[in-house]
A = this chain, B = another copy of it.
């Protein structure tokens, strides 16, 4: 939705400001913002200090936040709040047993993610050893343009949406191999769309290599991406494309099918 549309909606009388603000406050507690004072929240969100205070106190009394010595942090209840999405949506559960199977065969991690704006969000994950510096879990967000799943999801976007994405995009350099040129990204995505799979080699993190393929609904529409990520020093490009890719494609097929059946 465009900002203009949002503004229109905000004045439509069907918009609840306080809910928006409350959710903004929860999101203010992101990485490196482990614990926040009232004034911190006020600064981050742009809300007035009394408003930030009221929201934090409300969250605390509802059990979504806790405070000690005037420093607030979220509680695990917030986590289960997000989990209502998963428990209300069993399609990713269906994928799980297939993913486990794939992981047992390859010995490497497997994940599913969907696109949310400029990010991918992990909705299912079966991991083996840890290969990334950050810990990925269901709910994690990563920038789409630097990941294999992101490439698959972006490549399958309608043309105009992709262009909108590309124009508003701000490319950040994560490693020496990160794509920093929009035209190059566009070419890469065209290639991904044609091949029907995407691969990223240490563009997001040094030593991390991954491939991804789409998951489709009954109509063939891409609804998610599934990937396999490996340690670059351990698994060569040849092995991942010649051995893992066909297997991943096979499993993607089977998962898409299983989800289509149960969604009928």
Contact = CB atoms under 8 A, between A and B. Distances in A.
Given A116-B63, A138-B137, A85 B89 contact: no
A259 interface: no
B22 A55 contact: no
Given A74-B89, A80-B141, A89-B74, A97 B130 contact: yes
A127 B252 CA distance: 21
Interface in A67-96: 73-90, 93, 96
A64 interface: yes
Given A123-B79, A137-B86, A140-B83, A18 B15 contact: no
A1 interface: yes
A121 interface: yes
Chain A residues touching B, range: 35 or more
Contacts of A93: 135
Contacts of A84: 26-27, 29-30, 74, 78
B55 A19 contact: yes
Contacts of A78: 81-82, 84-85
Nearest to A76: B121
A23 interface: yes
A74 B61 contact: no
A240 to B, nearest CB: 22
A54 interface: yes
Given A26-B84, A79-B121, A80-B119, 11 more contacts: A17-B18, A18-B22, A30-B84, A30-B87, A63-B116, A73-B89, A76-B114, A77-B116, A79-B86, A79-B138, A79-B139
